[in-house]
């Protein structure tokens, strides 16, 4: 015999997304698909600090303004799987 019980599990879910650069709220399914969260940890002698956790949330417009000049745009190529 299997006896079941019900458990309530708390989990964090995104309630709102604000761009850390322009401070605007990003909302709507289409905009949220292109909102970016960057998470990294500074390594040894990092400009961010050794072992420092860095978090940055950006809307697509701000990300393009910041790195757009350094990106290569090719709409004809689809991302390929690198599994071999």
pLDDT digits (tens, 9 = 90+) for 59-79: 999 999 999 999 998 887 766
pLDDT for the residue 66: 97
pLDDT for the residue 81: 56
Element (H, E) at 67: helix 60-67
pLDDT for the residue 42: 93
Residue ranges covered by each domain of the chain: 17-69
Look at residue 28 and tell me whether its pLDDT is greater than 80.
yes
Look at residue 18 and tell me whether its pLDDT is greater than 60.
yes
Write out 21-34 in H/E/C secondary structure.
CCCCEECCHHHHHC
pLDDT digits (tens, 9 = 90+) for 46-59: 999 999 999 999 99
From residue 38, alpha-carbon distances to 55, 63, 66, 83 in Å are 6, 11, 13, 24
């Amino acid at each position: 015999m299997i006896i079941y019980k019900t458990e309530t599990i708390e989990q964090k879910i995104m309630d709102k997304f604000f761009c850390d650069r322009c401070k605007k709220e990003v909302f709507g399914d289409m905009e949220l698909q292109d909102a970016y969260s960057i998470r990294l940890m500074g390594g040894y002698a990092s400009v961010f600090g050794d072992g420092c956790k860095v978090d940055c949330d950006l809307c697509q417009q701000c990300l393009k303004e910041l790195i757009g000049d350094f990106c290569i745009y090719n709409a004809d190529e689809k991302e390929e799987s690198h599994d071999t």
